[in-house]
Amino acid sequence: LADVSKIATDDYVGFTFFVGCMAMMAASAFFFLSMNDFDKKWKTSILVSGLITFIAAVHYWYMRDYWAAFEESPTFFRYVDWVLTVPLMCVEFYLILKVAGARKSLMWKLILASVVMLVTGYFGEAVYNTGSGPAVWGLISGIAYFYIVYEIWLGSAKKLATEAGGAVLKAHKLLCWFVLVGWAIYPLGYMAGTPGWYDGLANLGLNMDVIYNIGDAINKIGFGLVVYGAAIAARDKN
């Protein structure tokens, strides 16, 4: 018997899971197939962009079916996905700043903060998810998030980017905006999906999964395209 299930025509959450899944697959094909047009430095960055969307494609494939089967939010798989992709995005920051002399310690600091952000977020969303649990764990997660924002916008990463200039500085700035604005979509989804002082948000009729799916499309594919654009800019200049 075929591995398909019926989907209601007004299942917009399901729609975003399916579109997201396919968009991630197509983006991976795009990054993997075009990485060889660039020199070594940028090639690795584009490869990592492809890994991020590829990891997401596999998880979306699963989450899409999970949603179709149970009409239930696949929180578990989201965090499996994020705990791999978010650290890889930290690696991207490091790779881009490597020419400017970035050290591995910068990368590890960012990775550590991102893991703290996700583990505490998971506690609030899936484990201690009643009473004040979500608000408290969400706050800790948010602090780790702001540490990342600080480090790339004002900390040592910013200094390195300024020194490098050119395509590197432009890419770094754009990625900084992704982290500040694009990543902020996730706490919104979290607040829409968990109880807390922010319950007013849930009443806006926002759906947590739709928000997360839009966030993932912007942050994974968009993030990768910024890196791709920077590689093109660097290539055309030479």
Ligand X SMILES: CC1=C(/C=C/C(C)=C/C=C/C(C)=C/C=O)C(C)(C)CCC1
Q: Please give the residue ranges that form the binding site for ligand X (CB under 6 A).
A: 82, 85-86, 117-118, 121, 138, 141-142, 145, 183, 186-187, 190, 216, 219-220
DSSP string, the chain: --S-----TT-HHHHHHHHHHHHHHHHHHHHHHHGGGS-HHHHHHHHHHHHHHHHHHHHHHHHHHHHHHH-S--HHHHHHHHHHHHHHHHHHHHHHHHTTT--HHHHHHHHHHHHHHHHHHHIIIIIS-STTHHHHHHHHHHHHHHHHHHHHHTSHHHHHHHHH-HHHHHHHHHHHHIIIIITTHHHHHHHHHS-STTHHHHTTT--HHHHHHHHHIIIIIIHHHHHHHHHHHHHHH-
Sign of CA dihedral 28, 30, 36, 38: negative
Q: Identify whether the C-beta of residue 60 lies closer than 8 Å to the C-beta of residue 28.
A: no
- Residue tagged 């660097």 (tokens): 234
Stretch that binds its own copies, among 22-30, 133-141, 173-181, 188-196 (CB under 8 A): 22-30
Q: Is 126 in the site for its own copies (CB under 8 A)?
A: yes
Q: Is 62 in the site for its own copies (CB under 8 A)?
A: yes
Residue 145 near which of ligand X, its own copies, none (CB within 5-8 Å, type-dependent): ligand X
Residue 117 near which of its own copies, ligand X, none (CB within 5-8 Å, type-dependent): ligand X
Q: Is 75 in the site for its own copies (CB under 8 A)?
A: yes
Residue nearer to its own copies on the CB measure, 62 or 198:
62
Please work out the total of residues on this chain that contact its own copies, with binding judged by CB under 8 A: 52
Q: x/- contact string, 179-198, with its own copies (CB under 8 A)?
A: --------------------
Least Å from the CB of residue 200 to its own copies: 26
Residue nearer to ligand X on the CB measure, 100 or 129:
129
Stretch that binds its own copies, among 24-32, 145-153, 168-176, 204-212 (CB under 8 A): 24-32
Least Å from the CB of residue 229 to ligand X: 18
Q: Identify whether the C-beta of residue 207 lies closer than 8 Å to the C-beta of residue 13.
A: yes
Interaction site with its own copies (CB under 8 A): 1-7, 9-11, 15, 18-19, 22-23, 25-26, 29-30, 32-35, 37, 40, 43-44, 47, 50-51, 54-55, 58-59, 62, 65-66, 68-70, 72, 75-77, 79-81, 83-84, 88, 126-127
